[in-house]
Amino acid sequence: MSIYVKIIKSFGNFVLNTEFEAGNEILALLGSSGSGKSMTLKCIAGIVKPDKGRIVVDGVTLFDSDKKINLSPQERHVGLLFQNYALFPNMTVEQNLYTVLKNCNGQKNTKERLGLLLESFYLTGLEKHYPGQLSGGQQQRVALARIMASDPKIIMLDEPLSALDSYLRWQVEKELTEILGKYKGSTLYVSHNRDEVYRLCKKVCVINKGHSEKVSSVDEFFNSPSTLASALLSGCKNYSRAEKLSSDTVYAVDWKVNLKCNTFVPDDAKYIGVRAHKILPVHMDGDCQNKVICNVLETSHDLFSVIITLAPLDSDPKKEFSQIRMELPSIEDNFVLPGDIMAVNIPTDMIMPLRK
């Protein structure tokens, strides 16, 4: 089972240009809202027709602008879970599933398969309920069961957890993990939430303003994102424009310091990024590499951590990237205060060189 997608579609000023491939795995399409993730799924499902490109699932061409192939959504056998689950409100749970089952495999074993689906999606007892009477999590299970009833070649989930209350989300996510674990084909998982992606997916394709980046593994994406956009999506908080000085030194333009760098710095690196919890306070007189003297602008306490906002001494704190955010586990109260000066260490192996 596999999927290959390469599509171009423009709407006014916005151009969607995505290309990716996935095998028997869960591929996350990660991007901020409005980046074209949902549109990509709609193109694959046949709801929206791309201007150009090719979509192939399991060797079957669903869309090819050169060969003038454009299968109808019904012919594509692609399961799409909508954000609002899109259950038919005028039908009971049972009718929602039955309609699809009957349509897909004619008359044979429909009753049996219905029972099996209800059971494996924990819907027993809810058969006669209408979607409006179900909780968000239950609705999602019905929607997933209905998709499975149609024997899809791949399944696509459009922000499946975003419509749920936060206390429900954890429970539903566990169920979703189990269901997706049993599914043998390719899965596309659209999300803007990096934690969800980290827990549920194996691979990530970042979509930034309509453009897809290279597919990378989840570990690679979180440990060494290669572009500014993917670093932002992976949750990295600190950035500076950067100039490469030598193979192991960069000049951080916004922080106005030279930094030693253990990681490989590509020639086209334009930024560096450092995660907030990797920055450490050091003694003012201490001798260490990458020591940066900063003004403390602000401190704030979370439940389990302290967030300290810093500005390197020579930098202009009003500029976009010049502030540094440091997160420490909650330790002794107020060991620094706004207005203080402190020294921090940016570990050489924690600097992530980023392309634009």
Binding positions for other proteins, rule: CB under 8 A: 42, 45-47, 72-74, 76-80, 82, 84, 86, 88-91, 99-100, 103-104, 130-133, 143, 146-147, 149-150
User: In whole angstroms, how close is the CB of 132 to other proteins at the nearest point?
Assistant: 3
User: In whole angstroms, how close is the CB of 227 to other proteins at the nearest point?
Assistant: 32
Q: Cα(351)–Cα(228) distance, rounded to whole angstroms?
A: 13
DSSP labels for 141-190?
Answer: HHHHHHHHHT--SEEEEESTTTTS-HHHHHHHHHHHHHHHHH--SEEEEE
Residue among 106 and 339 whose Cβ is closer to other proteins: 106
Nearest in space to 230 (alpha carbons), one of 218, 240, 241? 218
User: In whole angstroms, how close is the CB of 159 to other proteins at the nearest point?
Assistant: 13
Cβ-contact 201, 28 below 8 angstroms = yes
3-state DSSP call for residue 307? strand
Residue among 145 and 276 whose Cβ is closer to other proteins: 145
Q: Which segments of the chain does DSSP mark as H helices, in order?
A: 37-45, 73-76, 93-105, 110-120, 136-149, 166-182, 194-200, 218-223, 228-233
Residue among 103 and 223 whose Cβ is closer to other proteins: 103
Residue among 155 and 294 whose Cβ is closer to other proteins: 155
Residue among 88 and 335 whose Cβ is closer to other proteins: 88
Nearest in space to 198 (alpha carbons), one of 229, 177, 174, 219? 219
Residue among 128 and 214 whose Cβ is closer to other proteins: 128
Residue among 144 and 215 whose Cβ is closer to other proteins: 144
Residue among 122 and 130 whose Cβ is closer to other proteins: 130
Q: Cα(154)–Cα(58) distance, rounded to whole angstroms?
A: 9
User: In whole angstroms, how close is the CB of 211 to other proteins at the nearest point?
Assistant: 25
Q: Cα(292)–Cα(312) distance, rounded to whole angstroms?
A: 7
Q: Strands across the sheet with 257-260, in order?
A: 257-260, 249-252, 238-246, 271-274, 352-354
User: In whole angstroms, how close is the CB of 98 to other proteins at the nearest point?
Assistant: 12
Nearest in space to 281 (alpha carbons), one of 273, 292, 270, 289? 292
DSSP labels for 23-44?
Answer: -SSEEEEE--TTSSHHHHHHHH
Residue among 139 and 315 whose Cβ is closer to other proteins: 139
Nearest in space to 325 (alpha carbons), one of 272, 270, 271, 274? 274
State the DSSP H helix or E strand holding residue 63, giving kind and residue range, or none if neither: strand 60-64
User: In whole angstroms, how close is the CB of 223 to other proteins at the nearest point?
Assistant: 36
User: In whole angstroms, how close is the CB of 14 to other proteins at the nearest point?
Assistant: 19
User: In whole angstroms, how close is the CB of 122 to other proteins at the nearest point?
Assistant: 21
User: In whole angstroms, how close is the CB of 335 to other proteins at the nearest point?
Assistant: 53
